[in-house]
Structure 1
Amino acid sequence: MRYLVLGAGALGGLFGGKLVKGGADVAFLVRPARASQLARDGLVVRSQDGEIRAAVKTLQQGEIDGPYDVVLLCCKAYDLAGAMEAIAPAVGPDTAIVPLLNGVRHIDALAGRFGAPRVLGGLTAINAALMPDGAIQQSALRIDMTAVGELDGQKSRRCLAIQQALAAGGIKADLSDNILAQMWVKFFGFACLATVASLTRARAGVVARSPGGAAFVSAVIEECTRVVTAEGFPPPPDTAGLMRGVYSQPESTYAPSMLIDMEGGKPTEAEHTIGDLVERAQRRGVAAPILAAALCNLQAYEISRHTARA
């Protein structure tokens, strides 16, 4: 199977690098600057299981040479429109698109553009960052949660082939017969962590040491639980405990991607994740004042970020 990985940043680089390590036929669709960097230095992935250094094939927009069997979509949610335009030449009748984005709203967008049969559900909680030297660094926090599945819950040979290719490179991925429900569990966790982080602007250990930290984290969890339950996807009973656990270690330096983006002065996925939950809460008549506050905070951050750049 031929794999096209959109981007060679933190997530695309890590997953693509693992596929390359496992022997898969992989090309990376990247921007010119990243293509030059990869041509010069190769792809470097510092994972928890060792370092990967490999020369990789790169393509730029307009250079796609026909349909690919699998398109791995690892962009940020705010780049989805541009990403769909970029991958369009690679999508043929039998192409499987595997999105590893935060949230769930992208599924409808992808199905509307390319047709539901070409879209798989996917999720991961692997945490990594693109370093200034171009290497991808996986965080020390080990969360082995990656899954892929057909949106209709059927078992398929293409999902099995993708699972095997990932396993060959060292990523354990589950084949899910209810991938949408799993994506909602991940979305719930992401929303809890991102809401706490965006309102406190603090790493997990700082929140854990704060006198009001535990109560605030619990309030966020309870509110997010009400919203996702109203949407028909109540989180499993143990999920709340996992979220509390993240913010119970006083020395932890963990930060969700939302906070890392804010610390770096980068755009965030606010509207596509927390904003999506706020809209859903309004439609369902569910009070969500903490989520609304987090969204307002993130919107103010974006305004300030643009003002500073002007």
Structure 2
Amino acid sequence: MRYLVLGAGALGGYFGGKLLKGGADVTFLVRPARAAQLKRDGLVVNTQDGEIRTRVKTVQQGQLDGTYDVVLLCCKAYDLMDAISAIAPVMDEQSVILPFLNGIRHIDVLTERFGPQRVLGGLTVINAALMPDGTIQQSELRINITAIGELDGRISSRCTAIKMALEAGGIPVQVSDDIVAGMWMKFFGFTCNATIACLSRSRAGAIASSGAGESFVSAVLEECTRAATAEGYPPPPDTAGIIRGIFSQPNSTFGPSLLIDMEGGRPTEGEHTIGDMMGRATRRGVNVPLLSAALCNLQAYEINRSNPR
């Protein structure tokens, strides 16, 4: 199968690097600056199990050659519309998009544009960051879960083939018969973590060490549980315990990607995650003051970021 990975940032570089390690045919669709960096230095991914350092094939928008069997969408959620424009020329009737975006509403956008038969569901909780020197660093947090699946729940040969390609490179993959429910679980966890980190502007260790940290985490969990349950996707019983565990380790340097983006002065996915969860809760009549406070915080951050003093 011929793979196109949109973006060679943290997740795109991680998944693309692992696919290359397993022997897959991979091309990265990247912007000019990243293309030049990759040409000069190659792709470098520091994983929990060692370094991947390899030369890669890159293309830029307008230079795409033919069609691809699988398009891995690993961009930020706020880049979705630009990504759709970029990948449209390489999609034929047999091509399939596998998105690993945060949130859930991108599925509706993609299926409306390309049809449900050309869109898979995907989720990952692999935590990685693109460093200033262009290398990709996987975090110390060992919750390495990746799942893919057909939106209608059937087990398909194309999902099996993608699973084999990723596992050949060292990424364990579950083919799910209810990927949408799995994506909601990820959406719930991401929103909880992002809300906690956004309102505190802190990594997990500082929150764990604070006197009010435990009760604050519990309050966010309770509010997000009510919001997700109102939409018909109550989180599994063990999810809250996992999140509490993340924010109970005083020495932890873990921070969700939204916090890392804020620390770097970059745009965030707040509107597409926290904002989406808050909007869904509001439409269902669920009161979510912490999500509202987090969204206000992020909107103010974007205003201040765009208008520095």
Q: Same fold (TM over 0.5)?
A: yes
Q: Residue in 2 aligned with 1:7?
A: 7
Corresponding residue for 2:298? 298
Structure 2 unaligned blocks of 5 or more: none
Matched, 1:163 2:181: no
**1:125 alignment partner in structure 2:** 125
For residues 202-281 of structure 1, the aligned pairs below 5 Å read 202-281=202-281
How far does residue 66 in structure 1 lie from its aligned partner after superposition?
A: 1.5
Please give the alpha-carbon distance, in whole angstroms, between the structure 2 residues aligned to 1:264 and 1:235.
Answer: 31
Given residue 308 of structure 1, which amino acid in structure 2 is its aligned partner?
A: P
Identify the residue that residue 22 of structure 1 maps to in structure 2: 22
Q: Which amino acid aligns with 1:110?
A: L
CA distances 1:226-280 after superposition (whole Å, capped 9, x unpaired): 0000000000000001111111011111100110000000000011000001110
- Residue 126 of structure 1 and its aligned partner are, at CA, apart by 0.5
Residues 162-203 of structure 1 show CA distances to partners (whole Å, capped at 9, x for unaligned) of 000000000001000000000000010001000000000011
CA distance in structure 1 between the aligned counterparts of 2:219 and 2:193, rounded to whole angstroms: 12
**1:85-123, Cα deviation, whole Å (9 max, x unpaired):** 001111110111000000000000000111111000000
Inter-partner Cα distance in structure 2 for 1:293 and 1:44:
38
- Aligned-pair CA distance for 1:26: 0.3
What is aligned with 2:61? 61
Q: Which amino acid aligns with 2:120?
A: L
Aligned length: 309
**Structure 1: distance between partners of 2:124 and 2:59:** 25
Which amino acid counterpart does residue 285 of structure 2 have in structure 1? G
CA displacement at 1:28 relative to structure 2: 0.2
Q: 1:50 matched to which residue of 2? A: 50
By how many angstroms is 1:211 displaced? 0.7
Q: CA deviation at 1:65?
A: 1.1
Deviation at 1:142, TM superposition (A): 1.0
Deviation, structure 1 residue 154: 0.3
AA aligned to 1:256 is P
SS at match of 1:308: coil
Determine the structure 2 residue equivalent to 1:85: 85
SS in 2 for 1:155: coil
Alignment of 1:281-292 (within 5 A): 281-292=281-292
Q: Distance in 2 between matches of 1:65 and 1:242?
A: 44
Deviations 1:35-56 (A, max 9, x none): 1111111111111111111111
List 4+ stretches of structure 1 deviating above 2 A.
none
How far is the alpha carbon of 1:131 from its aligned partner? 1.1
Secondary structure of the residue aligned to 1:88 is helix
Q: In structure 2, what is the equivalent of residue 188 of structure 1?
A: 188
Structure 1 SS opposite 2:307: helix
Which letter maps to 1:251?
Answer: N
SS state at 1:238 partner: helix
Whole-angstrom distance in 2 between the partners of 1:249 and 1:170: 28
- Aligned equivalents of 2:233 and 2:252: distance in 1? 30
In 1, the alpha carbon distance for the partners of 2:213 and 2:59 equals 46
**What is the correspondence of 1:145-160 to structure 2 with a 5 Å cutoff?**
145-160=145-160
Q: Look up the SS of the partner of 1:265 in the other structure.
A: coil
Distance 1:132 1:203 in 2: 19
The whole-number CA distance in structure 1 between the counterparts of 2:194 and 2:90 is 33
Gaps in structure 1 of 5+ consecutive residues: none
Q: Give 1:144 shift.
A: 1.6
Q: CA deviation at 1:67?
A: 1.4
CA distance in 2, matches of 1:247, 1:129: 19
Query: Aligned partner of 1:276: which letter?
Result: D
Aligned partners of 2:105, 2:74: CA distance in 1, in Å?
15
2:29 alignment partner AA: L
The AA in structure 2 aligned to 1:63 is Q
Letter in 2 for 1:216: F
**TM-score calculated relative to the size of structure 1:** 0.99
* Cα distance in 1 between the residues matched to 2:138 and 2:263: 18
Deviates more, 1:22-31 or 1:60-69: 60-69
AA of the residue aligned to 2:55 = A
Aligned residue in 1 for 2:136: 136
